[in-house]
Amino acid sequence: MPTKRRARQMPASTPARAVPARPRTRPGRQTVDQARQRNQELLEIALDLFLEKGFERTTIDAITAAAGMAKRTVYLRYQDKTALFKASLQRAIEDWIVPVERLRAAETDDLEDSLLRIGQILVENIMSPAGLRLMRITNAESGRLPEIGVYAYQQGTDRTIAYLADLFRRRIQPGVEIIDPEEAALGFLYLVVGGPASATAWGMVLEKSQIDKHTEDCVRLFLRGLLPRDQGVAVPASPARAGQPSTDAGTGAPDIHKVKRLEEENRRLKLLLAESMLNLAALRDK
């Protein structure tokens, strides 16, 4: 008869081998940061495609393929293409806006110098690749999605206007009457900041020297219109005429050369103003 085999028993002195318990996994800080970084990349790629192809011709399939991300992942974060477009544009606006603190830090004791510094900051910001991209896409899509234009205005333009209006109230001498400070601030933005950006958006290539000259001329033009004649800024003579007296020696009559230079300067500034108004009208027509 076959005999039953006895089960081999381990010696009592040999303990059973314990299986190490797996550590419980939970998302750590690095995982959260990586997810946030991937989302930022998604919004950046989406905005580039929306700008390149327009909202209607840009598909979620194209965005996910370019971002290397599954459609399911995108739809878990954003309900549809419109929500993704708004999110990408809002992020771009928030990254692009110049903080008011930076503008305030540019102020000096001289109002003209302060406005020139502030104008240079704002012009440089809107003429940056991010600024021009943002301007092009908001101009193209704000008609279909007006809330995008409203958001851009509230987050950027509105805050800048409030700061400039406060600057005018603080720096204009008491008793000097000026137009409404908010309207003056809006005019400053259109005149000083809007011109180069509009020209570039229309395909013109501007050198930095041209942009700098435009900013300086328009700041002086703005102050001429803002302040009364007795409070206005003086127009410096050209370097070749800097040492020439303001009156004809011996007669006390006005220097005919200086008068002529002033007239030429006024004509040039008026042409700049007319050009800026045409640019503004064209933007409104868009």
pLDDT tens-place string over residues 199-249:
887 778 888 899 999 999 999 999 888 876 555 444 443 333 334 444 444
Cα separation, 113 vs 137, in Å, equals 33
Cα separation, 237 vs 244, in Å, equals 9
Mean pLDDT, residues 277-281 taken together: 54
Q: How far is CA 137 from its chain centroid?
A: 13
What pLDDT, on the 0 to 100 scale, is given for residue 25? Answer: 42
Judge whether 206 and 124 are in contact, CB under 8 Å. Answer: no
Task: Look up the CATH architecture of domain 35-94.
Answer: Orthogonal Bundle (1.10)
In whole angstroms, how far apart are CA 180 and each of 20, 168, 186, 233? 76, 10, 10, 20
In whole angstroms, how far apart are CA 252 and each of 202, 241, 256, 263? 50, 18, 11, 20
Cα separation, 234 vs 232, in Å, equals 7
CATH H-level, domain 98-228+260-276: superfamily: Tetracycline Repressor, domain 2 (1.10.357.10)
pLDDT tens-place string over residues 103-112:
999 999 999 9
Cα separation, 150 vs 30, in Å, equals 36
pLDDT tens-place string over residues 39-73:
999 999 999 999 888 888 999 999 999 999 999 99
What pLDDT, on the 0 to 100 scale, is given for residue 152? Answer: 76
Judge whether 235 and 242 are in contact, CB under 8 Å. Answer: no
Mean pLDDT, residues 9-20 taken together: 49
Cα separation, 249 vs 255, in Å, equals 9
What pTM value is reported for the model?
0.65
Query: Average model confidence (pLDDT) for the chain?
Result: 76
Query: What ranges do the domains of the chain cover?
Result: 35-94, 98-228+260-276
Cα separation, 98 vs 130, in Å, equals 12
CA nearest neighbour of 217 among 203, 247, 196: 196
- At residue 269, what are phi and psi to the nearest 5 degrees? -65, -35
Same fold, 35-94 and 98-228+260-276: no
Contacts of 203 (CB under 8 A, 6+ apart): none
Residue with the two structure tokens 């102020």: 107
% of the chain beyond a pLDDT of 90? 35
Handedness of CA 132, 133, 136, 138 (dihedral sign): negative
